[in-house]
Structure 1
Amino acid sequence: MSRHRLTLIAALGAGLLAAGALTGCATGASSPAQETSPSASSSPDAGESSSAAEVGAAWLDAGRAIAVVTWGSSTCVPVVSAEPTVSGDAVTVTLGESARTDCTRDMAPRATLVGLPAGVDPTRSLEVTVEGAAEGRTTLAPLTSAPSDAEQFAPSAGWVDARTIALVTYGSSGCPPTVESVTTTGTGIAVQFATPPADQICTMDLAPRVTLADVGDGAPEGAVSVVLSGGGVDAPDPIPVLGSR
Structure 2
Amino acid sequence: MTSRSLRSFASLGFAALIVASLAACASGAPMSAGSSGDGDGGGGSEETMIDAAWIDGGRMIGVVTQGSSTCVPEAEDATVESDGSLSVALAELDPETPCTMDYVPRVTPVQLPEGVDPSKDLAITVTGAGVDGSVDLAGIDGLTVDGPSEMMPSAGWTDLDGTFVVLLWGSSTCPEYITSTEVTGDAAVTASLSGVPADKVCTADMAPSAMLAYADGLAGVPDVELTLTSTSGEVVIPILGINQPAL
Structure 1 length normalisation: TM-score? 0.76
Query: Residue in 2 aligned with 1:18?
Result: none
* 1:131 to 2:120 alignment: no
Whether the 8 Å contact between 1:141 and 1:244 is mirrored in structure 2 is no
**2:62 is matched with which residue?**
67
Work out the CA distance in 1 between the residues paired with 2:187 and 2:98.
Answer: 40
The answer to whether the Cα contact below 8 Å between 1:52 and 1:138 also exists between their aligned partners in 2 is no
Aligned length: 213
In 1, Cα distance between the equivalents of 2:92 and 2:21? 18
Aligned match of 2:209: 209
Q: Which amino acid aligns with 1:95?
A: L
Unpaired stretches in structure 1, ≥5 consecutive residues: 1-30
Q: Contact 1:82–1:93 at 8 Å: present in 2 too?
A: yes
Post-superposition Cα deviations, 1:103-143, rounded to whole Å, max 9, x if no partner, equal 21100111111111111111111000001111100000110
Instruction: Return the alpha-carbon distance in structure 1 between the equivalents of residues 145 and 88 of structure 2.
Output: 25
Which stretches in structure 2 are left out of the alignment for 5+ residues? 1-19
2: CA distance, partners of 1:56 / 1:98: 21
TM-score normalised according to structure 2 size: 0.75
8 Å CA contact retained: 1:128, 1:137: yes
Letter in 2 for 1:146: L
Cα distance in 2 for residues equivalent to 1:202 and 1:163 = 33
Other structure's SS at 1:173 match? coil
Give the whole-Å Cα distance in 2 for the aligned partners of 1:122 and 1:186. 26
The alignment-based identity, stated in percent, is 36
Change (3 A) 1:98 1:188: farther
Maintained 8 Å contact 1:177/1:211: no
**Paired position in structure 2 for 1:35:** 24
Q: How does 1:18-33 map to 2 (within 5 A)?
A: 32-33=21-22
1:210 and 1:68 map into 2 onto residues whose CA distance is 9
Q: How does 1:21-170 map to 2 (within 5 A)?
A: 32-36=21-25, 38-43=27-32, 45=37, 46-48=39-41, 52=47, 54-98=49-93, 101-133=97-129, 134-147=131-144, 149=146, 152-160=150-158, 161-170=160-169
